[in-house]
Structure 1
Amino acid sequence: MQQQNINQNESSLHAIDYWQVLKNRYGVILLTFLLVFLTAAVITYVMPKKYESSALVEVKPINDVSPTMMQTAGTGPVMTRQFMNTQFEIIVAPSTLELAIDKKQLETRWGQDRKTVLNTLRGIVQTNQRRGTDLIEISVRHRKKEDAQAVAEAVYQAYEQRRNDLEMGIRREQLKAIQVELQNKSDRVAEMRKRLMDIAEKVGVIWVESERGGEMIGGQLELRNLAEKQLYEANREKEQLSFQINKLLTLDDDELVAVAAELPEVGFSDNYNQFVAAKRDLQVMLAQGLGPQHPDIKARKASIAELDSSLKKRAVNVRESLKYKLKLVEGRVEKMEEVLNDQQDRGTEKARSFQEFNLARKEYQTAQSIKDQMEVKYDLEKAKLVMPPTNIILHQVPEIQDTPVSPNVPLNLALGAVVGLIFGVGIAFCLEYLDTSVKSLEDVERFLNVPVLAVIPKDVGVLHKQSGMSPDAEAYRILRTNIEFNRKNPEDNSITVVSGGAGEGKSTTLVNLAYICAQGGYTTLMIDADLRRPRLHTFFDINNSVGLTNYLTTDLLLEDVILQTPVDNLYFMPSGILPADAAGILNSRRMSELIQDVKQRFDLVLVDSPPILGVSDASVLASEVDLTMIVVQHRKLPRNMLLRVKQAVENVGGQVIGVVLNNVDVRSDNQYQYYTSYYTYYAPTSGEDNQQNVQASTNAKQQSKSASSDEDLY
């Protein structure tokens, strides 16, 4: 249960401390960022440069209309959803690419076989649709900019040729189909006309074909009245035709066309309207700035010329047709006059036979109407056959580009920066998650259930070598005060300073604490019990030849091995000559007697020891003294190792008074700035004092680093 609560607290700490993690791991983040960014830069640098050339074309569906179906006016071919995807596949189809290979002789140009060139084209030719338009972009990327332009041009030309061939083939097939169907309709009309005339002869009806589809003369009184009426209308029509023919004979071809457009000629007015509309469209296109050599201008002019020629021919035919009609009308008038004379005595008994005649007449008129429509359709398709295809329009000619499009240096570097930053942050949080070292005061108190006596900032120097009032001393004053209030028995004045591993700063902490206690009026004794690698004597420049080991192995007096330091109230017992069995010497009755003796003579006894997890000396010392203070370097020792330090002390009967969190970087760890805010209270008031204190503090810190570096080796 306790472990579960610890994990929950740890998760909560990580959830609210992201910014602190980034600050603590900024070196890893920066290194990862630089590595990924430089990798992206190197890859971008070694990537081959590629140039792009593009052709922009507008593609329209081919007008494929069945010859038996008439297209509604104003409508065109509908573009389906799959049309663009189909065109993409046609552009990169082997047939199109092989035609492009032949156009630019790419096999000879690249010195490769046809299959290899075809596979290369499949990889470098790209097609895409401009969003919101019917435009297709055919783009080609190649290491040589001239080849990129040549291939793009060849692919467009091959695609255009295939599309044009397809459209012209469809037009020819449509015209052929319409021609066959028109011939069938003509044969049908001729057959039905013959049948109609046979029935008319059978029933004794005179059938006269006219512009309105034909009229019949039959019956007695009714037929006579009808014949008289038709004779009147025929004479009237004869006079109108005579007037029109005389007028047309005085006109030239252009005037004849304009006048003939007003005549009821089948299909002529429609063709004339198309001719006028085509000329109007030509003027609009010229007004829009299209030159005379533009494909649309040429196509429009060719259409106008074809329509003009067709209209003039048909106008002449109209005039000749009117002459022929005049002759027919004159003959019909003569015939009708003869009919009126011959129909005096005819009866009405043949009226019942007219029903078959009327049915045959309606069928004939319907067939004739369909035939006329087919003739109009045939003329239109024939005119379209001479017009150039317009289903594909080029809007952008492939050009040689001097600037490479690949690699995209800004994009690659930006992606490298983003990926590097993401990886850096990810690695930072991963390392933070895997890092089980002591990071905060809560870690110490939660795992060891002992208080944190003091937080010592990073790079604190040796205090007795600094002049003036140093802000670093306040951290040790806090330590001294916390020791006073956390020891339960005032007579417990012997304290050993231990650490889990080497390099955590226990010797520097002991020296500075001793100095602060002596400065506060405590008679303080420092004992260098680190018989493996003693370092306390280096802080005071004292000879280490006689000391603790000499006292424990000989009959020297205590006064012979305790030395007075330059600091008032501060005394020092060196380690002496290093023995072969350090643990055995320390675990002796004389050592216990020594501790009891110095406790009576001094207010505070501080004993330095080797790392407790490395050798057994520290455990022996922890059992001899009253209290044990653990020095932990910030973000160094794993929490499990710290717990083993405490257990090692308690296993020998020692009592842990608390922990000193040493070497804390308060600039990056904002949570400790509150504990070190006392620095602002010790700022010198004069510039000269400030200069002296800064210089003295710097010198002292440098000397402390040189001395501590030797200590940190063990």
Structure 2
Amino acid sequence: MQPSSPQQSEAALHAVDYWQVIKNRYGIILLTLLLVFMTAAVITYVMPKKYESFATMEVKPRGQLISPINPAFSQGAGAAMMTPRFFETEFEKIKSRNVLSKVVDSLDLSNRWGVDKESALQILRGIVKTQNIRGTDLISISVTHQNREDAKDIATEVARAYKEYRMEVEGGVTERALHELKAAVRDQEDQVEERRKVVTSIAEQKGIVDSADSMSFTQRGIDEYSSVRSAYDSYDTLEQQKIELQSQIKNLLNYNEDQLLNYASALNLPDNIIKSLYPQYLELKRQVEGLKSNGLGDLHPTIISQEKVLSEMKLQLDEGVLSLRESLQAELDLANAKLAQVGNLKNDRKEEAIQRSLDRQAYEDAKRAYNTDQELLQSMKEKLLGETISNSLTEELTEIHDQPVLARAPVSPNVTLNLALGAVVGLIFGVGIAFFLEYMDTSVKSMEDVERYLQVPVLAVIPKDVGVLHKQSGMSPDAEAYRILRTNIEFNRKNPEDNSITVVSGGAGEGKSTTLVNLAYICAQGGYTTLMIDGDLRRPRLHTFFDINNSVGLTNFLTTELALEDVILQTPVDNLYFMPSGILPSDAAGILNSRRMSELIQDVKQRFDLVLVDSPPILGVSDASVLASEVDLTMIVVQHRKLPRNMLMRVKQAVENVGGNVIGVVLNNVDVRSDSQYQYYTSYYTYYAPAEAQVGPPTGSGKASDSKAKVSSNTNTDSELY
């Protein structure tokens, strides 16, 4: 599988990862929560206390009372005025300048508050709130103010001023409406009289008698329509007959002899001899043809007699066709004469019917308009009478049900709500900041980070606050992490002869020297003759772990002719040997990058089972790169959540650029209590019983002698070196 890009987003976390982030950064979350909560508490404390008084009013639209003349009309008018925006409109009226000006003048708020009238109006608009009580036609008018008396007085006066203003507006509208309605009734009466005169005039001019029977005009119109329709049908029939005769005559003129006889024989006309003669003629003709085909010649008596009969029949057919033409022409002339006569009759009836229809239609239209206007006049009179009676009644369009009272307790600030919101907002901000910091944090957080970016295994996970093992009493569970590290080194090095390892880190303070000392101690305990070389010629620290003087050591060996036995010291731990750094040189990299240094590494590799070389931070100086090129393997120590991932990649690149071989990474200083994902790798703590912690460390006297014997067999010098 291909490694993920270093710039890949880390947003896809599991629920456990979210909880882990919260645990790791709970301090930031608690601090943010406390700051926001305290801010909310301070703001709540310094906020001025405000009191609220409110009045409850019932608001009805105009025309909601039942009219004694036309109840349905008045109810419909009230429902029509109760639009979906009725209450929103009334809310704006309550906070309008006309209403609030009455409140300012009535309570003398300008002098009470020490401001001008415009400022008082602006303050009122800000403190007066209106809302519709859900499911009712009630309006709640609330006033919030720092002075409870002012809140009560203003709420009372706003309700009264709104009621007064609405009565003034609605009363003026009603008076204007009644005046306009009376004028409309007078105009309608004039219109009805004009319509009546028009109806009478048309009836006199056209001679129309308005029968009480409403069906007389309709029946008369039906009879006239039937007469005209009959004339039209007769005309159409004659015209169709004429067309048929013209078609027959045309065919007789255009057909040849045989076609003419065939056509004439099919006509169903009186005195048409062709219809019966022509089939006989054809039959006789077929018989003659049959006789000829049987061998009779043209001069045979039978043939001659039959031919004579055919000739006579042909003459009769020709005379019949001529007679048929004359008969058709006569019928055509007769049809034209009838058609002309019926056409004149049709036109006469049509004009008469049209004129009568127009007269009747004019009269009916005038009568219909007169009736409509008369009905409208009657309706307007009823409405006028109803509105006049309704206006005479006292209609309460607004009614106050709850009078404002003095508030007992302030409504603002709401201490409980503010503090709860402060806690919630603080918690949200704290968690948000924690996740933001986690997102911005590019340091190494997990083993997966190391293996994804470096493509090398994690050899061990070292818990936080692990001390120097050889100074601890009893069997410490911290040593198990280094035993895992020792085992992983054994299985991850490809060549068993690769026994020289340098320990590097990206920066100072990542626990590189402590890791080296503890690893050397564990390896020595396991029977490995182990040599520690303090190759950090900038700031050596290995000698401090064993309280050894480092005045003579590696630099003395590299710059003088001292023997190896003079610079290697045995530590109080069996199988563990140490080469101090010696006097610090001015050119540490130059001394390390020497032939004598290479020879030293090759020599100690032969003498010891494991050679561990400490080095300075590889990103700070070039010494570590030189050491990485001299030894067989390089182990990188990374402090958990300290070094950025790109710096970690630079550490590996620095080792590989000089030909070094990275065996793996030690993830150091891991807080297993906050990072639960590592508890599996440090679960060995649970295997150490409290009783075992009291057992003293092994004396190692027998093992020391064995170790000396092993080292002697692997060296070319005297055993007294150790």
TM-score (norm 1): 0.65
* In 2: Cα distance, 1:67 partner to 1:456 partner: 94
Report the 3-state secondary structure (helix = DSSP H, G, I; strand = E; otherwise coil) of the residue aligned with 1:55: strand
Query: Aligned AA for 2:594?
Result: S
Q: Are the structure 2 counterparts of residues 71 and 177 from structure 1 closer, same or farther at C-alpha, using a change threshold of 3 Å? A: farther
The residue correspondences of 1:605-620 to structure 2 (distance < 5 A) are 605-620=611-626
Candidates 440, 443, 464, aligned match of 1:437: 443
> Which secondary structure state, in structure 1, belongs to the residue aligned with residue 71 of structure 2?
coil
Cα pair 1:67 1:177 within 8 Å, conserved:
no
CA–CA distance in structure 1, aligned partners of residues 48 and 438 of structure 2: 40
Q: Secondary structure at 2:33's aligned position in 1?
A: helix
Q: 2:150 aligns with which of 130, 137, 147?
A: 147
The structure-2 alpha-carbon separation of the partners of 1:181 and 1:629, relative to structure 1 and needing over 3 Å to count, comes to closer
Q: How does 1:367-378 map to 2 (within 5 A)?
A: none
Q: Which amino acid aligns with 2:627?
A: L
2:93 aligned to which of 81, 86, 90 = 90
What letter matches 1:27 in structure 2? Answer: G
Letter in 1 for 2:37: F
Aligned pairs (5 A) from 1:59-208: 59-63=59-63, 70-72=70-72, 75=75, 77-78=78-79, 79-167=82-170
Asked if 2 retains the 8 angstrom alpha-carbon contact of 1:609 and 1:617, the reply is yes
What are the Cα deviations for residues 90-125 of structure 1, in whole angstroms up to 9, with x where unaligned?
Answer: 111101001111111111111111111111111211
* Counterpart for residue 622 of structure 1: 628
Aligned 1:446-485 pairs, distance under 5 A: 446-485=452-491
1:601 aligns with 2:607: yes
**Structure 2 matches for 1:231-242, cutoff 5 A?**
none
Q: Counterparts of 2:380 and 2:623 in 1: how far apart (Å)?
A: 123
Unaligned runs of 5+ in 2: 189-374, 698-722
**Aligned CA-pair RMSD:** 3.8
CA distance, structure 1, for counterparts of residue 538 and residue 512 of structure 2: 15
| Higher deviation after alignment, 646-655 or 415-424 | 415-424
Structure 2 counterpart of 1:531, from 529, 532, 537 = 537
Residue 411 of structure 1 aligns with an amino acid whose one-letter code is L
Question: CA shift at 1:5, angstroms?
Answer: 6.6
User: Does structure 2 conserve the Cα–Cα contact (< 8 Å) formed by 1:171 and 1:381?
Assistant: no
Alpha carbons of structure 1 residues 674 and 377: separation in structure 2 relative to 1, 3 Å: closer
Query: Higher Cα Rg: structure 1 or 2?
Result: 2
* TM-score, structure 2 normalization: 0.64
Partner deviation per Cα, 1:662-698 (whole Å, 9 max, x = no partner)? 1111112222111111110112248x949x99xxxxx
Contact 2:64–2:75 (Cα < 8 Å) also in 1: no
Listed as ranges, the gaps of 5+ residues in structure 1 are 186-365, 694-714
Q: CA deviation at 1:171?
A: 6.7
The DSSP-based 3-state class of the residue aligned with 1:17 is helix
Q: Secondary structure at the match of 2:549?
A: coil
CA-CA distance at 1:370 after TM superposition: 11
Q: CA deviation at 1:458?
A: 1.0
Amino acid at match of 1:576: G
Match of residue 682 from structure 1: 688
1:54 paired residue number = 54
On the 8 A contact 1:28/1:424 being kept in 2, the answer is yes
Indicate if the aligned counterparts of 1:179 and 1:378 stay in contact, CA closer than 8 A. Answer: no
SS of residue matched to 2:613: strand
Secondary structure in structure 1 of the residue aligned to 2:667: strand
Structure-1 separation of matches of 2:484 and 2:616:
25
CA shift at 1:607, angstroms? 0.9
In structure 1, how many angstroms separate the alpha carbons of the residues matched to 2:449 and 2:600?
36
After TM superposition, the structure 1 = structure 2 runs for residues 17-56 of structure 1, keeping only pairs within 5 Å, are 17-56=17-56
Alignment of 1:421-432 (within 5 A): 421-432=427-438
Whole-angstrom distance in 2 between the partners of 1:370 and 1:81: 29
Rounded to whole Å, the distance in 2 between the matches of 1:583 and 1:371 is 116
1:662 equivalent in structure 2: 668
* Displacement after TM superposition at 1:488 (Å): 1.9
How far off its partner does 1:564 sit? 1.8
Q: Does 1:639 align with 2:642?
A: no
SS in 1 for 2:72: coil
Q: Do the aligned partners of 1:175 and 1:382 also contact (CA within 8 Å) in 2?
A: no
> Which amino acid is the alignment partner of residue 686 of structure 2?
T
What's the CA shift for 1:480? 0.6
Distance 1:95 1:543 in 2: 98
Contact 2:63/2:75, CA 8 A, preserved across alignment? no
1:572 corresponds to which residue?
Answer: 578
- In the alignment, the residues of structure 2 paired with residue 372 and residue 399 of structure 1 have an alpha-carbon distance, to the nearest angstrom, of 49
Compute the displacement of 1:74 (Å): 9.0
Deviations 1:157-198 (A, max 9, x none): 11122233345556777888999999999xxxxxxxxxxxxx
Answer yes or no: is the 8 Å Cα contact 2:55–2:159 preserved in 1: yes
Closer/same/farther in 2, CA of residues 70 and 170 from structure 1, 3 Å limit? farther
Q: Distance in 2 between matches of 1:651 and 1:501?
A: 18
Aligned match of 1:544: 550
Q: 1:617 to 1:155 in 2, by over 3 A?
A: same
Question: Which amino acid in the other structure matches residue 580 of structure 1?
Answer: S
Contact 1:531 1:579 in 2 (8 A): yes
Distance 1:99 1:9, change over 3 A: closer
The CA deviation at 1:21 is: 2.5
- Secondary structure of 1:43 counterpart: helix
How many residues align structurally?
513
CA offset at residue 430 of structure 1? Answer: 2.7
CA drift at 1:532: 0.8
Q: Deviation at 1:128?
A: 0.9
